[in-house]
Amino acid sequence: MNSVKRQKQRKVLLMGKSGAGKTSMRSIVFSNYVAKDVRRLGATIDVEHSNIKFMGNLMLNLWDCGGQDGFVENYLTHQRTHVFGSVAVLIFVFDIESREFAADVINYSNIIRALSECSPNAKVFILIHKMDLVQTRLRDQLFAERADYIRGASEGFKDSVDFFATSIWDQSLYRAWTMIIYHLIPNAASIETLLQQLAEVIDARELILYERTTCLMVTHVTRGMENENPYTDRFERISSILKTHKQSMSKHTGIPAGTANFAEMQIKTGRFMFFITRLTENTNLAASIPPSEQIFNAARINILLARPRFAELDIASRPRAPAEGGQGQPPSAQIGAAEA
């Protein structure tokens, strides 16, 4: 009946002081804003919800919580259980430029307390944001100092909290969000197994599965020598570059960025061949293979053939619903926030 119920709803809180950059990053990752556009955003009033469909059976339920004092007060008191109940992930954003870091941390501990009360099993990610405003050579040290201090205030989450230095102006934002998403994907292991098999069959050096709208990586498989690839940041780099490209394509063609998707992209060189093609409703597959036309052609066909198995994986991991009929995955259920 309702396909929404069968999807794994995961509640994600996005919190932090007003002006820290929460709405900015959400708009860039999920709504096809470019970094320049975010100057237009106003302060968030209360909570803005967005439902973002990821990999078929993962539904992100993102709560962008306006950070002005009055709202926060309200979350902590009247709405305490409503806001902090059944949370899967809390993302707390600190503005590196903030003049009142100590006050920010106190604010943070109040939130942490409420979270451990209502959702003790939640996972906490801390993003120390606007790092572009710090001189390059000072970044690492400042980040480490802040992270240490914040960890000290993390109470029950002390040992599990993860820190990321981010900026909307580079791929660090993608790195952080890729990790967050990976944490939330319920059947990552079975996707990886299937991807591994596919990689063997087509003799790929590397396969990257990414979500089409956000360009965030879902998972990847790396084989043989490719494990030595010195570009360890390549996944977020690829996310970031594909996202930018998608936006420029959309601008050029007049197709909304949410649907400006590749049918295919290929790059052939003497050192490698690379192509991106659609895998499932919400995902694209990027493949790096040896430089051979034969392997290239065979790989394209094999991926085509593997599509149904990946689609099935999305469905199989949910409770069986025989009466599903043609309804299945509503094709319109792309990332909900894309229309923002």
Partner 1 sequence: MNSSLLTIPARRRRLSDEMEDPDEGLSRFQPAARLTMLRYLQDLHEAETPLDAVPPQYHTGRLPNSKSGDGKPRLLLMGQRRSGKSSISSVVFHKLPPSETLYIEATTRVKKESMHSFMDFQVWDFPGHVDYFDPAFDTENIFEEIGALIWVIDAQDEYIDAIMRLHKTILNLQQHYPAINVEVFVHKVDGLSDDFRQDTFRDIIQRVQDDLSDAGFENAPVSFYQTSIYDHSIFEAFSKVIQKLIPQLPTLEALLNSLCLSCRIEKAYLFDVLSKIYIATDTSPTDIGNYELCSDYIDVIVDVSEIYGWDRPEGEAGEEEYGESGNQDAESLITMEKKGNNYLYLREINKSVFQRPESASMADPKQSRYLALICLMGEDSSAEKKALIDYNVGVFQEALKQVFPR
Token look-up 């973002």 returns 52
Binder among 7, 23, 166, 282 for Mg ion (CB under 5 A): 23
The CB-of-224 to ligand GTP minimum distance in angstroms stands at 37
Contacting partner 1 within 105-134 (CB under 8 A)? 132
At residue 51's C-alpha, the angle toward residues 48 and 52, to 5°, is: 125
Which does residue 68 bind out of partner 1, ligand GTP, Mg ion, none, counting CB within 5 to 8 angstroms by kind? ligand GTP
* Residue 22: φ, ψ to 5°: -65, -55
Strands 217-222 and 206-211 come out as antiparallel
The pair phi, psi for residue 218, each rounded to 5°, is: -90, -50
DSSP type of residue 284: E
264 binding partner (options ligand GTP, Mg ion, partner 1, none; Cβ < 5 to 8 Å by kind): partner 1
For the bound state, the minimum distance from the C-beta of residue 234 to partner 1, rounded and expressed in Å, comes to: 5
Measure the CA angle with vertex 157, ends 153 and 161; round to 5°. 90
Residue 245's binding partner out of partner 1, ligand GTP, Mg ion, none, with CB under 5 to 8 Å set by partner kind = partner 1
Compute the distance between CA of residue 223 and CA of residue 249 in angstroms, rounded to an integer. Answer: 31
336 DSSP 8-state letter: G
Q: Which of 231, 122, 134, 227 is nearest to 180 (CA)?
A: 122
31 binds Mg ion per the rule CB under 5 A: no
CA distance 212 to 260: 9
Binding mask 59-98 for partner 1 (x = CB under 8 A): ----------------------------------------
Q: How far is the CB of 159 from partner 1 (least distance, A)?
A: 32
**Which range in 21-29, 153-161, 188-196, 218-226 contacts ligand GTP by CB under 6 A?**
21-29
Q: How far is the CB of 246 from partner 1 (least distance, A)?
A: 9
Verify binding: residue 34, ligand GTP, rule CB under 6 A.
no
- Interactions with ligand GTP, residue window 116-175 (CB under 6 A): 129-130, 132-133, 167-169
CA distance 56 to 333: 9
HSE of 170, CA atoms in CB hemisphere, 13 A: 12
Closest by CA to 242, choosing from 212, 263, 218, is: 212
Site for partner 1 in 132-161 (CB under 8 A): 132, 135-136
CA distance 24 to 27: 5
Encoded amino acid at 112, one letter = I
Please state the φ and ψ torsions of residue 299, each to the nearest 5 degrees.
-60, -45
Taking the least distance from each CB to ligand GTP, the nearer of 165 and 198 is: 165
Q: How far is the CB of 241 from partner 1 (least distance, A)?
A: 5
Q: Report what 77 binds from Mg ion, ligand GTP, partner 1, none; CB cut-off 5-8 Å by kind.
A: none
Q: For residue 56, give the amino acid letter.
A: G
* Count of residues interacting with ligand GTP (CB under 6 A): 23
Residue 205 structure tokens: 């050096």
Least distance (Å) between residue 113 CB and ligand GTP:
20
Q: What is the DSSP letter of 304?
A: H
Specify whether the CB–CB gap between 53 and 102 falls below 8 A. Answer: no
- Contacts with Mg ion by CB under 5 A: the residue count is 2
Chain residues that interact with partner 1, rule: CB under 8 A: 34-37, 132, 135-136, 169-171, 205-206, 224-225, 228-231, 234, 237-238, 240-242, 244-245, 247-249, 251-253, 255, 259-274, 278, 288, 290-293, 295
Chain residues that interact with Mg ion, rule: CB under 5 A: 23, 44
Chain residues that interact with ligand GTP, rule: CB under 6 A: 16, 18-24, 38-39, 41, 43-44, 66-68, 129-130, 132-133, 167-169
